[in-house]
Structures are given as structure tokens and as C-alpha cells.
Chains A and B, each alone.
Chain A
């Protein structure tokens, strides 16, 4: 088995299409609040893990970095995340960039969804907008999206 084989299987699936591409101009990065949103089914130790076809999201506290992955699909390496959470949610790196003044600050909250879904309509119409609203209310300007 190799990564190339598994990726090739993923290429069979048709991507969601959007008629128009929304485009938001961010503030200066050095003044922006940055959050990470991952589809790696991350959750805190005391949160329920993700169900296989769950389309909702979990709120991840920035200061409590005990993240676990509940990803159900076998088609992803998990060892990289097991030894270093920054492989998926690079908060230590963002802390360093904030300290250097390259980004404004790291958000107090981040989000995780469950990737490897076949039907994204609920994410598109419901949990996606809800997650965006939560981040907007938390003062987030820029979101780094990391896949599983």
C-alpha cells in the first residue's frame, strides 16, 4: 500500500461545485486573528467523538491542546498526528508567528468537522454557515483550513 494508491481512489469522487466564488479581503495579516478549521474529526478528551456520517462541528479551545482524532475512515495516516498535533492543527507554529508579529493573534477557538463525507449538502447549508458565524463572533479574520 502507498499514499499514491489511496489518493488515486479519492480522485474518483466529484468535488462540490460553486457557481460563484466568494472572496473576502482580509485585514493586514499582522493585525488578523487566525483560527484553524480541520476536517480531521478532532475533539477534546471530554467531548463525544464524531459519528461516521456526522456533519456538525466541534469547538476546540485554543488553550486546551489535548486534541484527539475520531476520524472513522481508514484512508489516512494517523501516526503523524499521534506524535505531533501540529501535523494537522499547527497551533505551536501559529503561536510562534504571532510572537514574531507576522500574524496578529491566534484565535481562542478553532473548529473541527469530519472529513471523508459523501454528502456535503448539510455542511454547505447548515453546519458550515453556523461554524462561520461562530468564528465571526469570536473575532476571527482569517481561517486556515487543513484537511484530514
Chain B
């Protein structure tokens, strides 16, 4: 982000860069930088809060009055220091012949569809697979978790991390369909990895690929960095 600020200014564009990680924006030193201590992925702070977002923009644009490089900090912080997971009512098992994680995917589909109808598909599925392919993709990861070498499991696109992003997106959007509020950052992610059978499958498949001695790039990004 800050690299682009330097390049754009050199080309004659005035820029204001927002930054979520203080060390990064301070070291990269864009010509006008505003550190906003908000969760990663939420640079304007609060989804659905127009007044808050406007305050961020007003502060950002005020930096355009500076006559030399400037770095400031937005006064309001959004802390997300807890490890709490979203609390969602999970669907009951409906098909005992299916692997429980696949049954879970089927059970969550109505909630997913409700959330997509309300919010659209901005971050759910579609990087590698569509929503209709989630079950099949998860089945390949079940196979990996149970011992199949990942390159032989038929993972869609052969891209473990991107497939997992689609699976995670499915679950997190389904959680929106089950919840009556916009969750805090990471609450949906924690719910997926800690509370759902699908998340458990992903972590077990990741561990299986890692333990097989495979290169880090093939398993590491199947979960956030601290897992």
C-alpha cells in the first residue's frame, strides 16, 4: 500500500494511505499516512457504520493540507484482542450416511443462501470453486486428512489455500445467515476453525500435508498465520 503511495506521488497524484499495522506504515513512510488501529481487512473500521467511516475519511483528507510528508494516528481504535468465536445455532444432522462435515455443509446451505440474498457474494466463494462445489472440495480434504497424498486427492485447482478460502468463505457467510448482527473481526473465522466440523477437516488435512514433509507453501496458508 505504502509502496503505491510513493509511486503515485512521483507520477503527480496526491495520496493518502491508510494503514492497519503501525510498524509497516511508519517504516514505509508514505507521503501522507494515517494509521488506523482497526482489524486487518477492515481499513475503514466498522462495516455498516457510515458515521464512523466518514470520520476516518475526514481525518484522512485533512492530511492533504500538509505541506510536507505527514504521519498521523486516527483517534478511535477498534480492539479485537479476544479469541472468541461466533455463537451460531448449528443445523442438526439430517443424513447419517454422509460424513458429518459434508452433512454440516448441506445443513448450512439455507443460511448461506439467506446471507447471499441479503449481502451478495463479495467474499464467500468463487476463487476456485462455486458454492455448489464446496461439498466435493471438502470431501477431497477429508480424504487427505485420512491419509490420501494431497496431490492424489483431486483438490479442485490443486490449490489448497485458495480452495480453503472458498470453504471458509462459505462458512463465514453462512454464519451471517445464522446471526442477527455483524460479527466482530475474526469471530466468524474462529467459529469456522474452532467450532465447525468443516474447519476441523481443514486443520487435519493441513496437518497431514505438513507431516508428510510437503513444502510449506502447500499447507501453511490453509489457516491464518497463528495456527
Contact = CB atoms under 8 A, between A and B. Distances in A.
A15 B24 contact: yes
14 contacts: A6-B226, A11-B23, A37-B8, A49-B126, A74-B225, A78-B41, A80-B182, A83-B47, A90-B57, A135-B8, A142-B13, A144-B15, A145-B2, A145-B4
A128 B15 CA distance: 13
A147 B36 CA distance: 11
B84 to A, nearest CB: 9
B40 A75 contact: yes
Interface in B1-23: 1-21, 23
A87 B42 contact: yes
A24 B50 CA distance: 29
Interface of B: 1-21, 23-24, 27-31, 39-48, 50, 53-54, 56-58, 60-61, 64, 67-69, 79-83, 115, 119-124, 126-127, 159, 161-162, 164-165, 168-169, 172-173, 175-176, 182-183, 185-190, 193, 221-227
A86 B4 contact: no
A6 B14 contact: no
A71 B154 CA distance: 23
7 shortest A-B CB distances, which residue pairs? A26-B14, A132-B11, A128-B7, A77-B41, A76-B41, A15-B27, A84-B47
B5 A145 contact: yes
Nearest to B115: A82
Nearest to A39: B1
A66 B29 CA distance: 32
Nearest to A132: B11
Contacts of B21: 7, 10-11
Given A9-B226, A76-B41, A93 B53 contact: yes
Contacts of A1: 83, 186, 189-190, 193, 224, 226-227
Contacts of A93: 44, 50, 53-54, 57
Contacts of B56: 90
Nearest to B19: A147
Given A83-B182, A142-B61, A147-B1, 4 more contacts: A24-B14, A40-B41, A81-B122, A87-B47
B15 to A, nearest CB: 5
Nearest to B60: A144
B44 A86 contact: yes
Nearest to B55: A93
B196 to A, nearest CB: 14
Interface-centre pick from A10, A18, A142, A147 (highest chain B CB count, 10 A):
A147
